[in-house]
Structure 1
């Protein structure tokens, strides 16, 4: 049930990147997804994300993230389309509503809502890519060099939800074997059945916390300098990824400073392509951000490239 939430090591090329390179790549995608509001730039960035997710064999998982995104996005579109009063291209006039005023739907409000939905899908897709690309232990271990205790808390928090969901399903299975039916009876009877599951889950969580504390004490946590049994080495592929992402981030921020990648929604919608320079900036950003995907494709189909980088 929760397998799609868990990282799976498949030996893919993008999974072999150094945590610093992977996090910088994901951070660049996240920042540009927040900064760009031009729908054309947003669609291009979403295509790069889909290529990266495809490279880590995550399209099937991404569909579940997409359903979650649409579940959140549809109410946003409806509310913003009805409440947005700044657009001049009115396509529907509704009744008067107390406090709110007259309900209207404008073309500008629909465009703005669609842009916000694309941005939401991009941000959730970045987390989907993180879940498929970066091993959580490696990511946390990278930050543990600077903040060991904080990294430990983050690592335990990241594991908490999947483990509790798995434990909850296991307890329900045991209860069903004992004859408990969670789908029959009145509402109070079903709540009583689930309350017993929650009580067992609470006791199990307390026992697991005590076992973890004993394990940490046995390993001497906090008694001296932090040790590590494995080291992640920076390889040429990592430097290429960091350089290309840094270049793409720099070009994107330069474009934003010169009004490339921005878009006007109100009071009238603007042009998607304001100039040739706008398209050049977009293509350069997408090319730089696609470099890790191209490296992945080359590493999978050319052993010479894989051995060199």
Structure 2
């Protein structure tokens, strides 16, 4: 069940990007999600992220993230609507409470909570996209060029949890073949079975740590200059995706500086569209961020296109 939350090699276009290009693109998405306040821009950014997740064949995984996000989005909207008193368009007057004062619900507070919920969903979706397209070892290999020992510690730490999950599932399957029932009986009867499972998992993890230490010693880790087993090649596809992300970021900075992409919720709701430039900049940002999605579409349908990029 947990396997789908970890990186899986599928031979997709987004997974073939250089780790630096992929991280920069995802970083730009993350920065824009934090900067934008206009609901139209947040929805456009969320649309691009969902399209990228679809190109990475991760919609089934994203649905799980969506369910978890909705569980957080609704409390954000409700709590903000009840506790924020800065809006002028009051749509409901409630009772007076000792600490919070009189409860009021304003249209501005509801809209602000809804916009922040969309931002939260966009950020969670970006992390979902990261898990789908970025190999953790490639990311840490970038850090290893500057801090090899720290990169090794991070690599071992990030691989520990998924490796232990797989190992626990394997041990549990072996125990079930031998007749151990982890689901039958009362809680008191099941606890000793899970305790034995944890004991086996601990012993297996200690053995794995010894094997890793022996492998590091056999390969003379720390005895000299670090060698590189594999080098990632920078290709035209990386430049195209990076260029699209940089163009989107520059357009967003211009829109924020000129006020075309900004939006204020309090004390009264601002205009969503402040002239044609608001829509023009939004279209430019969406098209620029959609470059990896378009290239992924061409990657799947044109073999000649694959060799050129």
Shared fold per TM-score greater than 0.5: yes
Give the whole-Å Cα distance in 1 for the aligned partners of 2:223 and 2:184.
Answer: 53
Contact 1:28 1:245 in 2 (8 A): yes
Per the alignment, residue 105 of structure 2 pairs with 105
Per the alignment, residue 11 of structure 1 pairs with 11
How far is the alpha carbon of 1:35 from its aligned partner? Answer: 0.7
How far is the alpha carbon of 1:198 from its aligned partner? Answer: 3.2
How far is the alpha carbon of 1:226 from its aligned partner? Answer: 1.3
Cα pair distance change 1:269/1:62, threshold 3 Å: same
Confirm whether residue 222 of structure 1 aligns to residue 234 of structure 2. Answer: no
Give the whole-Å Cα distance in 2 for the aligned partners of 1:174 and 1:102.
Answer: 61
Say what the alpha-carbon RMSD is for the aligned residues: 2.0
Give the whole-Å Cα distance in 2 for the aligned partners of 1:165 and 1:55.
Answer: 27
Other structure's SS at 1:251 match: helix
Deviations 1:32-51 (A, max 9, x none): 01111111000000111111
Cα pair distance change 1:287/1:199, threshold 3 Å: same
Contact 1:42 1:118 in 2 (8 A): yes
How far is the alpha carbon of 1:262 from its aligned partner? Answer: 1.9
Equivalent residue runs for 1:192-207 within 5 Å: 192-207=192-207
Equivalent residue runs for 1:41-60 within 5 Å: 41-60=41-60
Per the alignment, residue 153 of structure 2 pairs with 153
Give the whole-Å Cα distance in 1 for the aligned partners of 2:7 and 2:128.
Answer: 10
Per the alignment, residue 135 of structure 2 pairs with 135
Give the whole-Å Cα distance in 2 for the aligned partners of 1:286 and 1:82.
Answer: 34
How far is the alpha carbon of 1:225 from its aligned partner? Answer: 1.2
Per the alignment, residue 79 of structure 2 pairs with 79
Other structure's SS at 1:272 match: coil
Other structure's SS at 2:242 match: helix
How far is the alpha carbon of 1:102 from its aligned partner? Answer: 2.2
Other structure's SS at 2:96 match: strand
How far is the alpha carbon of 1:264 from its aligned partner? Answer: 0.9
How far is the alpha carbon of 1:182 from its aligned partner? Answer: 4.6
Cα pair distance change 1:224/1:116, threshold 3 Å: same
Other structure's SS at 1:91 match: strand
Confirm whether residue 90 of structure 1 aligns to residue 95 of structure 2. Answer: no
Give the whole-Å Cα distance in 2 for the aligned partners of 1:207 and 1:92.
Answer: 63
Equivalent residues, number: 309
Equivalent residue runs for 1:148-297 within 5 Å: 148-176=148-176, 181-183=181-183, 190-297=190-297
Other structure's SS at 1:230 match: coil
Deviations 1:247-279 (A, max 9, x none): 111111221122232211112111111221111
Listed as ranges, the gaps of 5+ residues in structure 1 are none
Contact 1:5 1:162 in 2 (8 A): no
How far is the alpha carbon of 1:6 from its aligned partner? Answer: 2.0
Report the TM-score when normalising by structure 2. 0.92
Other structure's SS at 1:260 match: coil
Other structure's SS at 2:153 match: helix
How far is the alpha carbon of 1:148 from its aligned partner? Answer: 1.4
How far is the alpha carbon of 1:221 from its aligned partner? Answer: 1.3
Contact 1:299 1:305 in 2 (8 A): yes
Listed as ranges, the gaps of 5+ residues in structure 2 are none
Give the whole-Å Cα distance in 1 for the aligned partners of 2:240 and 2:33.
Answer: 22
Give the whole-Å Cα distance in 1 for the aligned partners of 2:71 and 2:193.
Answer: 29
Per the alignment, residue 2 of structure 1 pairs with 2
Confirm whether residue 65 of structure 1 aligns to residue 74 of structure 2. Answer: no
Give the whole-Å Cα distance in 1 for the aligned partners of 2:156 and 2:91.
Answer: 51
Other structure's SS at 1:268 match: coil
Report the TM-score when normalising by structure 1. 0.92
